[in-house]
Structure 1
Amino acid sequence: MSRRGGFIFGALLFLLLGLFLIWLLNKIEPYQETIAHGASPEARSNIYLAAESYLRKQGLTVAHADGLEVLNDLPAAGHTLLLLADRSRMTPRQADRVLDWAAKGGHLLFVAEALYDEDDGKSGDLLLDRLGVQQYESEDLDEEDSEDAEQSEATESEEDAATEEDVESDAAEDDPQQAQGEEEAPAEADAEPEDEDRYPELTKLYLENEDAPAYIDFDTGFHLYDSADRAHAWANSGNATHMLQMNHGDGLVTVLTDSWIWQNNNIASHDNAWLLWYLTQDTSVTLLYRAERDDLPALLLRNFPEALAALALLIALVLWHVGRRQGPQLAPASRSRRQLEEHLRASADFLMRRSGKQVLLQGLQRDILRRARRRHPGFERLAVAEQWQVLSRLTRMPTAAISQAMRPLPKQRLSASEFTRQVAHLQSLRNAL
């Protein structure tokens, strides 16, 4: 191929490549795709992490604590304590301590945890019982309201019927024609219905100088009742009350039916976040996640699991070492054996384990004295030195050997060699008699 032909071929190839790129660029459309990786480890471990971040963005100082010991260093004035943890193990002393802190000028916010029991006259929730707040299920309230409404409607209908009859009878007596005209007159149009609640499932909080209420999606299955009539602010849904706020000493106490509205998945719904800011504005906030103190085993298990596992393994090894056999297992003896030597040896072993070596040595000494009395009448009436001389004459053994064998035994424990040597002297003395 000539140079001119190669140039033309390259130009055509470059042109075709440019056209292909232009066509490809027209076909390609950019797009965005969001890949959800789920909640972060911090959010999974702290269900109120979004609430903390929101309050910090509003300029509030937010801290969290794991126990009521935070009250020791937490000033009451200018602080809000969000008690959102489980309080089933709270003691009466701890409940009084929390309310005393609020009475000094703090703002206590907690969640009602138990239903009121009419038979017991209490709910078991220490904070609710001390404040006179009662929690019921909304279904129970609906049943009571329907029964009361039916009774009131029946009473009103009877009273209205009696009143209409009296009015008609009086009108007929005064002017029969007017009464007849009223019967033929068409009925008046019904009054226009009042504006119905557009969001009965949401809780509404009305504020002064505001035309529209704030909407919060509390759980409508529960209702708070202020039996002591201390509340000065509240928030209601269509059929129940879900927030009460009352004065307590120099401070405030706010009671809610639930706190799930401020968890990570729900705080962005409706006006949930706004309510959290409204209740904590102009204060420092402390979130309390644990209302009870763990016992020592729980603290050790949470903070030192490896050390506890090593200790358990060490105890198991010590028990295995102490409990293992020291030597092979002896085969059971045959019941047909009747050897006197084995019985004597077993009796001697039993006496030595039970009473000690001194008992066996004293037995040999008594046996020697018994034999000496047989061979020398009046032996027991002699002095100890004379007895040893008689034994030396009868056995033809030196007095020093006899005194060593017959002397009183020491109180301290004898070694195996001393015990064997003493037994040998006594047996030689006894055999010589």
Structure 2
Amino acid sequence: MNRNTLLVAAVLLVLTGSLLGWFFTHYEQYSTERNLGFTGKAASNDFYAAELFLAKYDMTVKSYDSILTMKELPGKDDVLFIPTQRFDIGDDRVTELLDWVKQGGHLVVLARYNQSEDEERKDVLFERLGVRAQRNYSDNPFAELFESDIDDLESVLEDAEAEPSSDATQSRAETNNEDSSTDIKTDDTVEGELAKNPENSEWKDKRSEREKFEATAIPIVVKVNDKIEDKKVYFNQKKWMQNESSFDTSWTVDGENGAQLLEFKMDDGWVTLLSDINFLTNHYIDKFDHAAFLHTIVHIDDSRRTLWLIRNDDSPSLLALLFANANSAVIMFLVFIAAWLWYASRRFGPIAPDSQAIRRSMSEHITSTGHYQWRNHNRTELLESVQKALHEQIAQTRPLWVNLTEKKLAKKLAKVTGLDQDRIYKAIIVKRVGKELEFSATIQVLSIIRKRL
């Protein structure tokens, strides 16, 4: 290793050390915790806290991803809770559900709203009940783009200026025969499914926002009956229902613009319609009296019913959508495909034989190559190649003849082949042939010599 190499290595070492020293002077390693939100089942189920709360009070909860995964209807004394848009529930299923209600079931559903004032969506269940879902579009310019009501709740948090209250609001769960008080702690339920680190600064900020919501959001005071204490529930006032039903209403909760809850008695069962459902999600069920209000809804009488919860809509397949909206076009396309398959499978006339490839002999290829070389004035090259092949054969079979002169070689070849010595001599020394006949004669002599050696 020379001096220059050592100098370069020393400079690089000094620069590297300087950079490392600067880096560790200005930066240090530290650990931090981040709130990743709900985990486990709570991450995919917005009503998981509600399920845990009802299960805590001896109510069996069966949760399904969609109504199509239910193999049977709930029992006659059970509650079917559908907080979805119900796009997968058609006329036949609505008839089946209403018949089940009349036999003693309790159906709880969320109102479905159009995305814009001009849009019209058919809600079979609400049409059967004579109820119209209304929505205020003018107050929110983004209402046509976003369906989630959580944005409305978050806007309350952002606009709030008041300080959070020091006392946490408790939710109360009552039955018709008793009035009890229970704290609903969504954040530390069932082995950490909803657990959050209390030391997490981001989680503290989230708790501060939630407490600010409690202090600033204006709930509706819900009157249930004389046996059950009034409930404070926050409903989105931009959504409401208009009751035009011929059925008897057993319970109504009114808001600023219209009904927020409608409950109908149908023979031995009930149908409960809700204008808003976000107060029952994991984020807000522990606010005000939301959990107790849920308990009141699903416990119309003193029975310990089973709750069947449908979490999502089951989107129809593309084929089902095509048949529903363009059945004529689909039928014509299928007819066309069938006709084309029938036409493609038919054969007219005899089968045409396969053409066989024409094979030529090697002599024909050689002859064609020679004619090609002759037409391109490569006569000298052809002659020299044959003479060279003859000399190579002589070197292999008669090595003592290699150093002989042309005349002596012609004499030796004449004795072996029986050809005229002059013809042999002329054939092995000629360098240029002008006429085709002379060229053919020379090549013939050389070929005879090669065969007889």
Shorter-chain TM band: 0.3 to 0.5
TM-score after normalising by structure 2: 0.42
Higher Rg of the two aligned structures: 1
Q: Where is the helix percentage greater, Structure 1 or Structure 2?
A: 1
